[in-house]
Chains A and B, each alone.
Chain A
Amino acid sequence: MLIQLDLISLLCFYIGLANVAQFTGSVTSIYFGIPGESNSVPAVIEGHRLSRQGQGHSAIVGTGLGSLLAGTTSIFVLMALSGYYNSIISWFYSINNQFILFVTVFIFFIILTSNRWYTNIFIMVFGYLISRIGFNDWTGEYFLSFDNLSLGTGIPFFPVVLGILVVPNLFKHYNFELADYTRERLSDCVVKFFKNVQYSFVGTFIGMVCGLVPAVSTVLATNVAHKIVRWYEKYPNNIPSYRALISAESANNSAILVTLLPLIVLGIPITGSEALLVSILERNVIDLNWQVIVDNNYHIMLFASVLMSLCIGIIVSWPLSTMLQRIIMFAKDYFSIVIAIILVCCLMYVGHTVNDIAYYLLVFVVFSVVGWVCRNINMIPFIFVFLVQEQVESVMIVVYNMYI
C-alpha cells in the first residue's frame, strides 16, 4: 500500500507513526515494564516502578503531556531555524563535535550513575564486549562468534533488555491496592505535570541537542535527560522519579523530530525505519531533500502533520492507560504469569521476524540470569553502551584515522 503513496503522504505517514509510537511505547513500558523500543529504557526503569506504586496513570498522563510539549516546542524551533538547516547539520555532524559529545556523556555516566565508578566502568566494558559480538565492519572479521551463524549476527537488543531489566522486576511486589485505577483522577495528573513542567523543558532541550547525534540520538537523549534529573534530585536508587521520567520522555519526542533533519534536508536515513522509507521513495523514483519539500510547499503540511500526530498520541494513550489499568486489576492474581506470557510472545514474534526464535529465547534466558544476579546494580550503563557501541566505535575510528 505504501508503494502507492506520494512524497508528502509517505512523510506524513512516517512522522505520524514515529510520533504516536512514542506515546504507546510508554504505556507498555510503564504498566508492564516491556520497552516498546530501545529508547524506552528510562520509561521502564522509572515508569514501571511508579506504576507498581499506583502512579501508573499519572505517569502516562505526565509522559503524554511532556511529549506533546516537547514535540510542539521542537517543531516551532525547527520551523524558526529552517533557513539554517545546512549550517546546523554541518556544525553538529562534524567529527570533532561528535567526539566531544560522546566523551562528555561517557564521563557523565561513569561519575553520575548510582553505582561506584569502577562498577560503572566494569559493566560498561561488559556491555561493549557483548555488543561487539558478531561481524565487525571495521575489522572485516567475526568477533567471538565461534563460526555460529546466529552469534555471527550479533547479540540482539530485545532479549537482552528484557532479561536485564524486565525479568528482575517480575519477582518484585506489585501493589495492587495502590494500582486501583479509580484512585488517580485525570485532573490531578494534569496538575501534577504542570507543577513539574520545568523538567519537561529540560528534557526538550537535551533532546534537541542529542537529536543531532546520528544513529543513537533518542537513546542518548532519553538516557542523558533521565540521568541529569536523577543526579539533580539526589533520590536514592530505589525511589522512582516522576520528574526524571517526564524529562526522559520529553527528550525522546524532541530528539525524534530533530533526528529527522538529515532525512528531510538531505534524504539520508539514520535509523532502520528511515532507511525503509527511503527505500520506498527510491523504488517510486521520488527525490527527497529540503529543496523538493519547499518547492512543493510541503513544509507547512509537514509541520501541521507533526502537531496533529502529537495530539493523536495523547488521545490514544490516555484511554489506553485506563483500559490497561482495568486489565491489570482484573488479572491481578496472575499478573506475573500474564506479563511472562506477553514477554515470551513478544520475544518469539521478534525472533520469528529474523527466523531465529531459538536464538532469541536462549539469549533471553542467559540475560535473565545476568539480570537476576545483577539485580542490585543499576544496569543502565550496560544497556547504554550496548546500544551505542557501534556509533561510538565509528566516531573513535574516524577520529583516529583523521588525526593520529
Chain B
Amino acid sequence: MKYLIVLLFLSFGATADTINLIVSGKAGGTFHTRSMMMYDYLTHQGHDVELINAGDHAKSKHALINSDTPTIMPWMDSANVKTLIEANPDTFGILDYVSPIAFCSTKYKYFQPDEIVIGYSASWPNKIFKSLAYTIDKTVRSIPFKNSGQLVLAFQTNDLDYIAVSLSKVKKLPTGSCFAVTGHLPIDDMQPLKNALPDYDYRFISQHAFWFAVNFDNQTAIRQLLLDAIHSDEYSAWVDKSKFIAPVSIDNIDDQLASVLIGVDNWSK
C-alpha cells in the first residue's frame, strides 16, 4: 500500500507541473487554432495548462525566452521572417505538420503566357518568384497581398493570372484551379512542381509548423505528449482536412528539426 501511494504520488508528480501554453497568434489564424486544440487535448488528459495570450509574434518570443517553467508554443518556419526564434535540440518540441505551397490559375495550366502576374502573401520572400522567373525564363510580375484572405479575394476578381497560396486555402478556390504543389508528392489533382520545373530552386519549399517545448526535465516525454495531441481525433481531423502532412512518430526528431532548419533558410528574405 505504501509503495502504491508513493507510486501514485510520483506518477502524479510527473504530470502535475503546470504547462504554460503561449498562444502565439491572433484568433482566426492557424497558430491560435493549434493552441486551442492543444489546450483542449492537454486539459482533457488532466494536465494543468495555463494559457498565455501573447497575441503577437514578438511578445510570444519574449514570453518563451524569458520563461523558466515548462512552456510550449506553436511556431512555423516562415514566421521567422518577422520574428526570429532559433530552434535547437533543447527547445524543439515536435514537428506539427508540413504544408506545401499550391500554384493556382483559372486562366492557364502551368506557366504558359509570356508575362505572368502572380499574387502571393506579403510575408513570403520575393526570391521564390525571382527564381521562378529565372527557371521558366519569362517575365514574372509578383504582386504581394497583405494576407492570404485578400489574395484569395483578388483571385476571384481575375486581376491575377496565378496565385501561390498555402495549401489550407486551396479549398476556398474554384475546384480544379490549383494545378501544382511544392514537395515530393501529388495532392488530389495537383502534381508536384518538380515534375514540370525540375531545376526550380524552391520546388520543395513548404511551411513547417512545429512546437517549441522548453524547460521540461524530460524532453522525450513532452514530445510524446505533443505527438499524442497531434494524433487526437480533433487535431488529426483538422490536419487531414487541410491536406497537411503530419509526423507519425518521435523517432526521427533529428530529421524533423533538420527539415525545420532548412525551411527557416528557405523562407528567409
A152 to B59, CA, bound (A): 9
Mark each residue of chain A from 264 to 293: 1 if its CB lies under 8 Å from any CB of chain B, else 0: 001111101011101100110101010000
Mark each residue of chain B from 138 to 175: 1 if its CB lies under 8 Å from any CB of chain A, else 0: 00011111110110111011110000000000011000
Contact between B58 and A135, CB atoms less than 8 A apart: yes
Q: In the complex, which residues of chain A have a beta carbon less than 8 angstroms from the beta carbon of B143? A: 398, 401-402
Mark each residue of chain A from 213 to 231: 1 if its CB lies under 8 Å from any CB of chain B, else 0: 0100000000000000000
Contact between B53 and A355, CB atoms less than 8 A apart: yes
A-side interface residues, number (CB < 8 Å): 43
Query: In the assembled complex, how far is the CB of residue A139 from the closest CB belonging to chain B, in whole angstroms?
Result: 9
Q: In the complex, which residues of chain A have a beta carbon less than 8 angstroms from the beta carbon of B12? A: none
Nearest-CB residue, chain A, relative to B52: A355
* B 45-92 contacts with A by CB, 8 A: 52-56, 58-59, 62, 81-82
Contact between B159 and A282, CB atoms less than 8 A apart: no
Q: In the complex, which residues of chain B have a beta carbon less than 8 angstroms from the beta carbon of A93? A: 153-154, 156-157
B26 within 8 A of partner (CB):
yes
Q: In the complex, which residues of chain A have a beta carbon less than 8 angstroms from the beta carbon of B145? A: 394, 398
Known A214-B150, A398-B145; judge A137-B123 contact (CB<8 A): yes
Mark each residue of chain A from 238 to 281: 1 if its CB lies under 8 Å from any CB of chain B, else 0: 00000000000000000000000010001111101011101100
A397 within 8 A of partner (CB):
yes
* A 383-404 contacts with B by CB, 8 A: 390-391, 394, 397-398, 401-402
Report whether over half of chain A's contact residues are helix, strand or loop; otherwise say mixed.
helix
Contact between B122 and A276, CB atoms less than 8 A apart: no
Known A272-B27, A279-B33; judge A402-B117 contact (CB<8 A): yes
Q: In the complex, which residues of chain B have a beta carbon less than 8 angstroms from the beta carbon of A294? A: none
Across the interface, B36 reaches (CB within 8 A) one of A262, A283, A353, A398, namely: A283
Q: In the complex, which residues of chain B have a beta carbon less than 8 angstroms from the beta carbon of A103? A: none
Query: In the assembled complex, how far is the CB of residue A37 from the closest CB belonging to chain B, in whole angstroms?
Result: 16
Query: In the assembled complex, how far is the CB of residue B174 from the closest CB belonging to chain A, in whole angstroms?
Result: 10
Query: In the assembled complex, how far is the CB of residue A359 from the closest CB belonging to chain B, in whole angstroms?
Result: 11
Contact between A354 and B149, CB atoms less than 8 A apart: no
Q: Which residues of A contact B (CB under 8 A)?
A: 86, 89-91, 93-96, 135, 137-138, 140, 149, 152-153, 214, 262, 266-270, 272, 274-276, 278-279, 282-283, 285, 287, 289, 353-355, 390-391, 394, 397-398, 401-402
Beyond A275-B27, A282-B241, A289-B172, 5 additional contacts (C-beta under 8 Å) are A90-B158, A153-B55, A283-B37, A355-B53, A355-B55
| Nearest 10 Cβ contacts at the A-B interface | A275-B28, A276-B27, A94-B157, A394-B146, A285-B241, A401-B143, A153-B56, A152-B58, A137-B122, A279-B28
Question: Can you show 22 pairs from A to B with CB atoms below 8 A apart?
Answer: A90-B156, A93-B154, A94-B159, A95-B154, A137-B123, A140-B123, A153-B59, A214-B153, A266-B152, A266-B156, A270-B149, A274-B28, A275-B26, A275-B28, A279-B36, A354-B53, A355-B52, A398-B154, A401-B142, A402-B141, A402-B143, A402-B159
